[in-house]
């Protein structure tokens, strides 16, 4: 009995992660496959080069955050100044950060929160290193991670008692963090599916909108 229950839980968890990967490739117009809704898995997205923008919230307006949800007030949090990261072997790679804070209105009129932050590095390797450092820290602190694929993972989040979900993604020279939070009084079990759809669609919109299509595709690094 216990074994069958454990197997069922594993299947449910696997299905949830697959759903997140599918959702992350859906949503915004202008994607490589030209589809909307449920599309190819996020892992099929080739690595690319990305550009900084001072109006990141505009990237989230082409498609609804999830079915039945609408995007409310938004605030750009973009800084054009280059920042210095702590890289490997004493290197100091530069990156620029851009992000959006947004209110979401759910199907029942309740308000949710969305946060998306993109760090665009000067090269792909420093971005890969920054992503791996963050992944290692989350693992060391027992926060997961729940792998979506080799260059993306998800983990639970919390904002003053509001259940949430965070997705971290590395693609080429981009490290992207997307978080969403449900209304107060919600339970993680009730809202997880919608949280996964919201962060997945937002991640796709941000990565797709920042992608520099005039630049050649980058060769993927082999995961250590």
- How confident is the model at residue 203, as a pLDDT? 94
Q: Let me know if 218 is exposed, middle or buried by CB neighbors in 10 A (0-12, 13-18, 19+).
A: middle
- How confident is the model at residue 129, as a pLDDT? 94
Identify the weakest region by mean pLDDT among 14-18, 96-100, 215-219: 14-18
Residue 135 has pLDDT above 80, yes or no: yes
Closest CA to 37 of 213, 211, 200, 209: 200
Could you read off the pLDDT of 179-219 as tens digits, one per residue? 999 999 999 899 999 999 999 999 999 999 999 987 665 54
Pairing verdict, β 70-76 and 146-149: unpaired
List Cα–Cα distances, 36 to 63, 92, 201, in angstroms: 9, 39, 10
The pTM score is 0.79
CA–CA separation, 66 vs 18, rounded Å?
A: 16
Helices and strands in the chain, H and E counts: 3, 8
- 34 torsion bin: left (phi>0), alpha (psi -120 to 50), beta (else): left
Residue pair 153/144 in contact (Cβ under 8 Å)? The answer is yes
Average confidence score pLDDT of the chain = 81
What is the mean predicted confidence (pLDDT) over 43-70? 89
CA–CA separation, 188 vs 202, rounded Å?
A: 19
Residue 143 has pLDDT above 50, yes or no: yes
């Amino acid at each position: 009995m216990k074994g069958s229950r454990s197997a069922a839980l594993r299947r449910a968890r696997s299905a949830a992660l697959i759903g997140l990967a599918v959702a992350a490739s859906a949503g915004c117009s202008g994607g490589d496959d030209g589809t909307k809704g449920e599309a190819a898995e996020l892992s099929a997205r080739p690595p690319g080069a990305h550009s900084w923008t001072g109006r990141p919230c505009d990237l989230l307006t082409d498609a609804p955050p999830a079915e039945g949800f609408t995007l409310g007030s938004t605030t750009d949090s973009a800084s054009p100044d280059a920042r210095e990261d702590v890289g490997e072997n004493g290197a100091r790679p530069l990156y620029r950060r851009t992000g959006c804070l947004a209110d979401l209105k759910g199907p029942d009129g309740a308000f949710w929160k969305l946060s998306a932050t993109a760090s665009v590095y000067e090269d792909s390797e420093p971005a890969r290193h920054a992503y791996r450092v963050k992944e290692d820290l989350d693992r060391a602190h027992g926060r997961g991670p729940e792998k979506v694929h080799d260059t993306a993972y998800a983990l639970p989040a919390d904002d003053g008692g509001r259940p949430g979900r965070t997705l971290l993604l590395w693609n080429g020279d981009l490290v992207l963090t997307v978080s969403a939070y449900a209304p107060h009084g919600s339970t993680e079990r009730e809202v997880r599916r919608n949280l996964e759809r919201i962060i997945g669609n937002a991640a796709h919109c941000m990565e797709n909108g920042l992608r520099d299509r005039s630049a050649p595709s980058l060769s993927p690094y082999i995961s250590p």
